[in-house]
Structure 1
Amino acid sequence: MKQLISKTIAGIMPLMYLILMAMLTGRPVYSQKMKDVKSQPLFTEFRYQGNDQIYKDHPLQNGEFYSPILQGCYPDPSITRKGNDYYLVNSSFAMVPGVPIFHSNDLVNWKQIGHVLDRPSQLKVEKAGISAGVYAPDIKYNPHNNTFYMVTTQIAAGIGNMVVKTQDPLKGWSDPIQLKFDGIDPSLFFDDNGKAYLVHNDAPPKGKALYNGHRVIKIWEYDLAKDEVVAGTDKIIVDGGVNIAEKPIWIEGPHIYKKNGRYYLMCAEGGTGGWHSEVIFVSDDPKGPYIPFNNNPILTQRYFSKDRGNKVDWAGHADLVEGPGGKYYGVFLAVRPNEKNRVNTGRETFILPVDWSGEFPIFENGLIPLKPLTKMPAGVTNKTGQNGFLPNGNFSFTDDFTASKLDLRWVGVRGARENFASTSKEGLRINPYPLTIKAAAPTSTLFYRQQHASFEATVKLKYIPQAENELAGIVCYQKETFNYVFGVSKKGRDFYIVLERTQNGHSTLVASEKIDLRNAIQLKVAAQGDVYSFSFSEDGQSFKNVGGTVSGDILSTDVAGGFTGALIGLYATAANDIIVP
């Protein structure tokens, strides 16, 4: 017996070491162990198709483009400009790589050029909560030293506020430089005279908080040579919000702009929810005092009927840029709830023209219910979905996984894609980790954002599980405690397709069915708003439903909590715990 125990421990220890090292380093340490797993699933012919009614009801006309410009979980947008080149970044939380970055020459047609945080030395989210990790990135170009800066808060691994920089966003970014101040949502401002400042959200001084959600905006002088805030220069420039007597909550996401010799401070106010808004202040000095605009907010959706059709809500967390012809534009986050008022697609990136003909900037049509169509800048041609430009509206995305590198739209959660996924002329191989999707750790799952309320996603799967602890298939994922698993596993000598629902960490087998795996099968998930269904095909033509229809409630941030949108994952595990009766 002792000899058996010793052999068992000896067999477990290398595996535990591999798991630990993967979590700590983010490197592909599983690769040697995974060679022993014979049943690596092969995924091919992935297809995603959006089917939202709003785009059918509002076809594009000449001179129009759709907003949101980035559909799905692309929140907290920040934008900057160098000449005719525009760059936009978003929060990525625990997704890996981190901080997607996009490029455009006209604010309409966008290409993803990579991720700012694409190396293990830059991103330490292996143990981060799904809505922790990287928050509210700010991107700025400094013409005085021809350098781009991305400053953010990485709530993971003790990093906190940090900055990375580059002279060419196409050639990668530096390792993080930690910044020594508390709070979140940092943003840089470069004045005409070359001086630099940093503003951010923070708590009031100790003992001075007046109510729940009371926050302040601070400013520091910033030393460009040392990349650090100048000790002792911090100053509170906004206390509470526009009018502290009204107890405004969560003043955050600050940005400073300079126009006609004056300094404008724009912030989000009201919290990232139904009371979200954007407000503006002005000063004659970068360090204040800042006076609020009499007619704040300059952007919000909070005053309108909750049951309005084609609702867009939670608008705020904005950034401004001077566009073609000197016209200003603002990018911001908002959500498009489904018919049950659930937010499965998450916070998305919208854009509107901004009227800055007066003293203060105003989002054009930002104070009425938002529409899906936006007028294009003068002289711009809509090329979305063509020649590598990202699509919007009711688009399709296909991937046969034969390219040498994965498409940039595929991400991991907490761990790098390359640790478990590889492409070849055959398709996508996933090396299954000995962890399930319910682990708050890197899992062997490749994710694509849900970008429509109504959609279909199908994938072809060639897979023969060798044991009951092996499973591969599709997941619909909000976080480790809220998800659906639809996959193929084994019981005894038979193979089964299973559908499991996990809500708040409690898992329930919805349905299971014996299946023939002699040939590759197709798996499909489809949604019509809140109604989801899962089906499979053995002949590639006719699909058979498993489990009827189920609610998408657990894929909404309103139910699951947090800040992310739903993800569709291609998943494999060597620790399957779904029990077929």
Structure 2
Amino acid sequence: MARLYSNKTAAHKHIARITGLIGPCSLIFLFVCLIDFNLSARWTADLENGNYKNPVIFADYSDPDLIRVEDDFYMVSSSFNCMPGIPVLHSRDLVNWQIINHVYEALPLEKYDKPAHGQGSWAPSIRYNNGLFYVYFCTPHDGLFVATAKHPGDKWDLKLIEEVELWEDPCPFWDDDGNAYLVRGKLRADILYIHRMSPEGKRILDNGKIIFHDLVKQPVIEGPKLYKIDGFYYIFAPAGGVQNGWQAVLRSKNIYGPYEERIVLRQGNTNINGPHQGGLVQLKSGEWRFLHFQDRGAYGRVVHMQPVEWRDGWPIIGKESDGDTAGEPVNEDKKPDVGKRYPVVIPQTTDEFDKNILGPQWQWQANPKKEWYSLNENPGSIRLFTVKNHTQNGNLWFVPNLLLQKFPAPDFTATTKVSFVPDRANEKSGIVIMGKEWAFLALTKTADGVDIGMYRGTYFQGEDKTEII
């Protein structure tokens, strides 16, 4: 048994990835991850002088999309195999964000009871229409899902509406005449399609039409977001690949095309590679902003915000470059004009385990089970129960009951208090950094007492004990 307590003596407590692990022969595992930050380790985008710095969120919120409804901004991002899935974040100024919900607790398919890395929810889109919030997403081999809610903080109603393979990155659109459409990509195909939908957005009505395919000018085009502005249909879509690509915009007077194309944002002379997939939003003040991700390796896909100007019916995103239609990403800029100042906040990281639910920052590697943990036995702690997992070489990559959260900053410190009461030899409890390469520190019950060891592993090789402290 391992019991993890919040460390209330720390001035600032934030949690990211730690483990409680128990297992003879590395067959039985249990994981929890907690991280403590002091103030200097917090990544705060709000400079509190009227400006902000990028990234606005230094954490892995891949493929962000957003909308504004009155004075509120809502953002969603990919979750892949992590559960609960598709975090919903809220902000009043596009700089200060917090998690308010997830679109689903689990995916209603048995395959997600085990870690299904690279699958699950890809590139969701969020929209508001006729009093309902909609989130659309695809999984690579299951199909097209739609979730609806009266408010983003409510429980979402999730449905699989089209059982198909290889669809990706769907975005709904309701036109002025009430007709509904869905634009999407196809996995590894460099093609954009558009479909008619039923007015309530719950049925696809046709096989779709190809509206863009140009391997020379816009290779690897994906992640389309469809808007109608001043009589033009605009599709914002990244191309060129995650590491070294750019933002393209397609424009047409007819939703079915033909579409003109233009590059509107690229890395240029900056250190912001990509810059990749994102969403456009207009403020009440009339300003426009574009949020997108940048791939930062082990830190994940962090979120940047760029100013947007319009000229001759085309957007220029970021800082304008002389003689180029494409802007460059900014490192710092004026905060959006939302009419007032709002408190500085960041996505949640701390958890005192003093409520009957986990903090919204926590995710498992697969559909969660109630028998994995308890928050009720001792308020202020989480009790983790042993779970038998038949993995080869102790490979954490295939363990479903890993409780994790995203890296919250470039530098941070993880701290937790552990009550470790082992029943037999080889039971372990500790702290893990998890990814394709992973490492953890663990207390291990031995015949002679308890030792402290460091373990490393990879997703293809499994565990290798490298050092006893």
Same fold, judged at TM 0.5 (above): yes
Q: Does 1:237 align with 2:211?
A: yes
Segments of structure 1 that go 5 or more residues without pairing to the other structure are 1-38, 204-212, 337-342, 392-396, 514-581
Counterpart of 1:450?
Answer: 407
TM-score (norm 1): 0.69
Secondary structure at the aligned position of 1:354 is classed as strand
Report matched runs for 1:7-18 at 5 Å. none
Output aligned runs, 1:8-407, within 5 Å.
39-45=1-7, 46-49=34-37, 60-119=47-106, 121=108, 125-142=112-129, 145-155=130-140, 158-181=141-164, 182-202=166-186, 214-225=189-200, 227-232=202-207, 234-240=208-214, 244-246=215-217, 248-273=218-243, 275-293=244-262, 296=263, 298-301=264-267, 303-304=268-269, 311-336=271-296, 343-365=297-319, 370-378=329-337, 379-385=339-345, 390=347, 397-407=349-359
Q: Does the alignment pair 1:498 with 2:453?
A: yes
C-alpha deviation, 1:489, in angstroms: 1.1
Q: Secondary structure at the match of 2:403?
A: strand
**Alpha carbons 1:41, 1:472 under 8 Å: kept:** no
Query: Compared with structure 1, are the counterparts of its residues 84 and 398 closer, same or farther at alpha carbon in structure 2 (3 Å cutoff)?
Result: closer
Q: Which amino acid aligns with 2:265?
A: L
1:355–1:124 CA distance, 2 compared to 1 (3 A): farther
Residue 408 in 1 paired to residue 360 in 2? Answer: yes
Structure 1 residue matching 2:6: 3-state secondary structure? strand
Q: Measure how far apart 1:54 and its partner are.
A: 11
Q: How far did 1:225 drift?
A: 4.2
The 1:287/1:59 distance shift into structure 2, 3 A limit, reads closer
Determine the C-alpha separation between the residues in 2 that align with 1:291 and 1:372. 30
The separation in 1 between residues aligned to 2:103 and 2:232, in whole angstroms, is 32
Are 1:47 and 1:399, in contact at CA under 8 Å, matched by a contact in 2?
Answer: no
Hey, what's the Cα distance between the residues in 2 that align with 1:270 and 1:245?
10
Say whether residues 1:468 and 2:425 are aligned partners. yes
CA 1:276–1:51: 2 relative to 1, 3 Å: farther
| CA deviation string 1:38-89 (max 9, x = no partner) | x233333254227889979x99251012332222111100112222222110
CA positional deviation for 1:441: 4.2
Kindly indicate whether the alpha-carbon contact (under 8 Å) linking 2:317 and 2:329 is maintained by their aligned counterparts in 1.
Answer: no
Aligned residues: 430
Q: Hey, what's the Cα distance between the residues in 2 that align with 1:59 and 1:237?
A: 40
**Aligned partners of 1:169, 1:185: CA distance in 2, in Å?**
20
Q: Is the 8 A contact 1:345 1:450 kept in 2?
A: yes
Q: Matches of 1:443 and 1:176 in 2, distance apart? A: 24
Pairwise CA distance, 1:422: 2.2
CA distance in structure 1 between the partners assigned to 2:438 and 2:185 by the alignment: 33
Q: CA deviation at 1:124?
A: 5.8
Change (3 A) 1:100 1:496: same
**Amino acid in the other structure paired with 2:446:** K
The answer to whether the 8 Å contact 2:318/2:328 transfers is no
CA distance in 1, matches of 2:230, 2:382: 54
SS of equivalent to 1:443: coil
Match of 2:30 in 1: none
Higher helix share: 1
> What code does the residue aligned with 1:490 have?
K
- In the other structure, the counterpart of 2:22 is none
Instruction: For 1:452 and 1:108, locate their aligned partners in 2 and report how far apart those are by CA, in whole Å.
Output: 15
The one-letter code sitting in structure 2 at the alignment partner of 1:323 is L
Partner Cα distance (2:306, 2:316) in 1: 10
Give, in whole Å, the separation in 2 of the partners of 1:474 and 1:282: 50
Partners in 2 of 1:245 and 1:390 — Cα distance? 40
* In 2: Cα distance, 1:180 partner to 1:466 partner: 47
Q: Using the alignment, how far apart are the partners of 1:80 and 1:61 within structure 2?
A: 24
Displacement of 1:114 in angstroms is 0.7
Within 2, Cα distance between the matches of 1:446 and 1:72? 17
> Cα deviations across residues 368-392 of structure 1 (Å, max 9, x unaligned)?
664443311223314222xxx637x
Within 5 A, what are the aligned runs for 1:530-541?
none
1:511 aligns with 2:463: no
Aligned amino acid, residue 205 of structure 2? V
Displacement of 1:222: 0.9
**Residue type matched to 2:194 in 1?**
I
Q: CA deviation at 1:152?
A: 0.6
Aligned counterpart, 1:13 = none
CA distance in 2, matches of 1:460, 1:268: 44
Distance in 2 (CA, whole Å) between partners of 1:53 and 1:165 is 37
**d(CA) in 2 for partners of 1:239, 1:43:** 54
Cα RMSD after superposing both structures: 2.7
Counterparts of 1:268 and 1:329, CA distance in 2: 16
User: 1:180 & 1:463 partners in 2: Cα distance?
Assistant: 46
Q: What is residue 483 of structure 1 aligned with on the other side?
A: 438
Q: Is the 8 A contact 2:2 2:418 kept in 1?
A: no
Say if 2:81 and 2:116, in contact at 8 Å, map to a contact too: yes
Q: CA deviation at 1:469?
A: 3.5
CA drift at 1:405: 1.7
Output one character per residue of 1:85-111: Cα deviation in whole Å (capped at 9) or x when no partner.
221100011111000001223323322
Write the letter of the residue equivalent to 1:99.
I
The letter for the 2-side match of 1:321 is V
Q: Deviations over 1:302-347 (max 9, x none)?
A: x44xxx7xx33221102101113011111111134xxxxxx22110
Deviations 1:115-141 (A, max 9, x none): 011245389622343232111011111
One-letter code aligned to 1:276:
G
Change in CA separation of 1:63 and 1:124 when aligned onto 2, cut-off 3 Å: farther
SS in 2 for 1:344: helix
What's the CA shift for 1:434?
Answer: 1.9
Give the deviation of 1:269 after TM superposition: 0.3
Relative contact order: is structure 1 or structure 2 higher (C-alpha 8 Å, sep ≥ 6)?
2
> Which of these two proteins has the greater Rg computed from alpha carbons?
1
In the alignment, what sits opposite 1:28?
A: none
**For 1:167 and 1:239, how far apart are their aligned partners in 2?**
37
